[in-house]
Structures are given as C-alpha cells and as structure tokens.
Structure 1
Amino acid sequence: MASKIEIRKEGKLGRVYYPAPYLTNDNLEYYADAYEVGPEKIIATYAAATQHVDQGLSLTLFFKDTATTRDINKAQITAWKAGIKTIYYIRIRQMALEGTEVSDCVSCML
C-alpha cells in the first residue's frame, strides 16, 4: 500500500480522502505504507516472486523525501543483483497538499 490515506484531487469535489481498507485507530500500528517499508523489503519480495513468474513484474520503488541519489542508485544495484529485470517507477514521498496532512486521529480527519 502506497499510503494509509490516499488524498486525491477530484474536479468539483476538491480533495477526497480514501483510507486503506479496514483501517481503524485500533489497527493503525499494524499498517505500514510502502515508504515506511523501504526499498530493500520491496526488492526482496519481488525477487522471490520473480523466480515463479514467466514474464517480468512491474516494480515500483518508494523512497522517503530524505533519500539521496546514492540511496536510489544503491537500491537499483540491489534490485539488479537480486534478478529484478525492470524498475518501472521510482516514487519519492512529497509533502502532502497544503492543509491535508493527517497528524492526529485518522478517523477524525475523514
């Protein structure tokens, strides 16, 4: 999951918030988005799956906004060594739209 709460800009509606399925304050600690998991675990998961797939997998790497080009290059090399054939996207977390950050009770923000 890329984000616990996805913020989309919808034409006339403005911003629409989509929480992850079944997300509550009680189970929030069990959810980790792709940016929190980090590229190493994502690469390891795809490398394990690649062995059982005849075609290539569409790998997307997620980095926090503090990532450097060295971090990205290191992840690309790790993926190549793990047998990943293609990295389609590299996403770097950017600050949320002004005024849309979720900082307190997730349910209260919806």
Structure 2
Amino acid sequence: MGKQMTEMLKGTLEGIVLAVLAGRSAYGYEITAWLREQGFSDIAEGTIYALLVRIEKRELVDVEKVPSEKGPPRKVYSLNAQGRQYLDEFWKTWRFLSERLEQLHETGGR
C-alpha cells in the first residue's frame, strides 16, 4: 500500500471497523484477518487493537470476554446503539464526500 492509501485509510478505518461489527461480533484478530482478505493487506494487528481500545472508551461497542482455548479470554466486540448512530453518521459523511469527489473528478473543478 502506498503512502497516500495509508493516509486515506487512517481517516476511514474507524468507520470500516464499525461497519464490520455492524454485521457481526468479532475479536481483534478476526477483524484484522477479514480486512486482509478484503485486500487491506498492510493493516497491522496493533493498529486494529489500538482502534478497538479507542472505540471501547468512547462506548461505541459492547465488549464480552469469551474463554479462549489458547491463553487468556478474548474480548469480543459488538456494535451497540451509540455505535450504530455513529456509523450512520459516518456513512452520511462518506456519501457526501464521495459524491463531491466524483463531481470534482468528472468536471475537473469547473
């Protein structure tokens, strides 16, 4: 991934992770693995774990500790009502920006 892609991803990764959690509950490694399967191959696990800590502190997710066969319990994250509201706002913002960028691309700023 190039530097430009990395920078753009930083601004949208929170919304991407919340969108993943809107579909299903998951723990950090599952989210990272799914993102890599979708082509986000350069995303580090540490980046996802740090983001999960932030959205947990902001109370956008509920967390359940689930026993693990290998080591300590896993923290499984699920989107709560506050997180759904935040995600709805993210999608509205995304639509606004993508429409404006597409217009700019098509018209060349004219």
For the criterion TM > 0.5, the same-fold answer is: no
Task: Tell me which protein shows more helix as a share of its residues.
Answer: 2
Using the size of structure 2 for normalisation, the TM-score is: 0.25
Return the TM-score normalized by structure 1. Answer: 0.25
